[in-house]
Amino acid sequence: MSKAGALDLASGLGGKIDKTEVLSAVEKYEKYHVFYGGEEEERKANYTDMVNKYYDLVTSFYEFGWGESFHFAARWKGESLKESIKRHEHFLALQLGLKPGHKVLDVGCGIGGPLREIARFSSTSVTGLNNNEYQITRGKELNRIAGVEKTCDFVKADFMKMPFPDNSFDAVYAIEATCHAPDAYGCYKEIYRVLKPGQCFAAYEWCMTDAFDPNNAEHQKIKAEIEIGDGLPDIRLTRQCLEALKQAGFEVIWEKDLAIDSPLPWYLPLDKNHFSLSSFRLTALGRFFTRNMVKALEFVGFAPKGSQRVQDFLEKAAEGLVEGGKKEIFTPMYFFLARKPLSDSQ
């Protein structure tokens, strides 16, 4: 059950930020990024503040447009966006071999759409790790509505410094979340620490592909649009993620950019040339209505000042994602399945 109405969108804008301070939060967030003179090192040094501001500002927009699961998916012809998202989540559960009674960790869980789906699909207990208070509050309410509060819970913490003992979980996954980490190795090493020996970690990572040319100005512009629109300190190459996994101690079972074989492009919902009634709010026309609705709500005082600026950088992200997908220089679904050895000597 997701927020569906205009007033729900307006009431959630800004998350836990005081409504009178949303505009200044937007301005501070924007200054972290290339378009406003920001530097990568500053974004990495202040990733907690940057990512928290980002999710306070955008969560209501995400839920209004996407529902409870904030991620893309490979998609078959004849399959709806909602169906593809569920299948994308079920695929993770199957790859991890989840079984009833397993204790599972969702790293960077958002408002918990995937963890609720995976817990119900696999009859497991899933803990969502998230450092954003507003998303956790919203996720707990959705858990209660779904009736899964006994098997699904949330922990507020930084995934670079997890508050769990060593060898705590039977499986760990991340869906388009660890891209927010300032250091992939440090993040994967923490996941390695809390995962039980012999068990697996699976993820979908946001990455630049080998087709990305750092000396190409258009490629750099696309990368910068995605970074500002999605709260990212940097976007790593697929091979950098793979190397970080190995350095952290994982055995990589298999890895692949799943965007390559997707019958329908993953970016189709955001493509201005595509129209769909089932995902109308994500289409060009739907986004036009949302943009003007937010403008009106901000004008009459129902939405805080700065809301339209948030909509603007989300639009910039959508443009960058579509262009990055079309040029095949960016993927939101670099998948890997990696195992923690039974012993360090293995």
Non-local (6+) Cβ contacts of 256 within 8 A are 334, 335, 336
Quote the tokens at residue 207: 């990455």
Scanning the structure block, which residue is given the tokens 């989540």? Answer: 89
Non-local (6+) Cβ contacts of 275 within 8 A are 283, 284, 285
Give me the amino acid identity at 6. A
CA 274 to chain centre: 23
Q: Catalytic: 176?
A: yes
Distance CA 127, CA 104 (A): 6
Distance CA 156, CA 133 (A): 7
Give per-residue burial for 229-268: e unless 16+ CB within 10 Å, then b.
Answer: bbbbbbbbebebbbebbeebebeeeebebbbeebebbbbb
CB neighbourhood size of 74 (10 A): 21
Active-site entry in 68, 176, 205, 298: 176
Catalytic residues: 176
